């Protein structure tokens, strides 16, 4: 997409913007200019400002007008590797959290509910069996899902003990998923911290494969 900059007395003003669609040709007179060629826009101080950097490793810090070429050129400098590393580390943590949310409902309250149900399931499975079911009221959270929660085969769990089995299976699967996610997260962050420059950080980010 074309970028332009306003130039006044040979000095770029402001920041790059999209190609002007309207322009004031004299005080109080504004006309459409979206179809104008570059040469015509230049008469009113609007010049192209091409993107000349890879934003993953460099950033624009200013602009200068090249009269010979009739364009504004970006002044760039490398992104400090420390800054790049900080951004990448935060991004890895955010991506890991997204992966976690794919296997568990988000929210602090929901997380507490999962933990409480997991605790009840552990106690239930340790003390009872399919032939020795827990008394009513012993595991309120598990009881709340009887006749609702589906088992792995698609049928509905009809007893508290069956609910406990489903919850424990889900907990085990989550632990495995979290372990896999955490391994990728920690390895990526270690590699990012060891990067020597911004381009190496980008290579690490591009190579991350989440489970």
* Dist CA 198 CA 205 (whole Å): 11
Phi/psi of residue 69, nearest 5 degrees: -95, -15
Is it the case that residue 1 has pLDDT exceeding 80? no
Q: Which of 129, 177, 172, 170 is nearest to 152 (CA)?
A: 170
Tens digits of residue pLDDT in 46-64: 999 998 677 777 889 999 9
Tens digits of residue pLDDT in 127-179: 999 999 999 999 999 999 999 999 989 999 999 999 999 999 989 988 999 99
Query: Is pTM, for the whole model, over 0.85?
Result: no
Tens digits of residue pLDDT in 64-107: 999 999 999 999 988 889 989 999 999 999 999 999 888 776 66
Q: Which of 58, 92, 93, 94 is nearest to 75 (CA)?
A: 58
* Dist CA 151 CA 186 (whole Å): 33
């Amino acid at each position: 997409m074309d970028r332009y900059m306003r130039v006044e007395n040979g000095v770029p003003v402001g920041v790059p913007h999209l190609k002007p669609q309207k322009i004031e040709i004299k005080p109080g007179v504004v006309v459409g200019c979206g179809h104008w060629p570059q040469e015509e826009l230049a008469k009113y101080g609007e010049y192209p400002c091409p993107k000349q950097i890879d934003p993953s490793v460099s950033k624009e810090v200013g602009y200068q007008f090249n009269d010979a070429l009739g364009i504004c050129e970006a002044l760039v400098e490398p992104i400090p590797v420390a800054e790049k590393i900080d951004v990448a580390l935060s991004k890895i943590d955010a991506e890991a959290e997204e992966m976690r949310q794919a296997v568990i409902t988000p929210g602090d309250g929901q997380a507490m509910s999962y933990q409480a149900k997991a605790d009840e399931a552990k106690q239930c499975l340790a003390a009872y069996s399919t032939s020795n079911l827990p008394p009513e009221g012993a595991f309120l959270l598990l009881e709340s899902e009887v006749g609702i929660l589906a088992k792995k085969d698609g049928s509905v769990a009809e007893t508290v003990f069956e609910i406990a089995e489903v919850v424990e299976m889900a907990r085990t699967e989550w632990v495995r998923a979290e372990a896999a996610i955490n391994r990728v997260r920690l390895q990526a962050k270690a590699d990012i911290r060891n990067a020597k420059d911004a381009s190496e950080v980008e290579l690490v980010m591009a190579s991350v494969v989440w489970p």
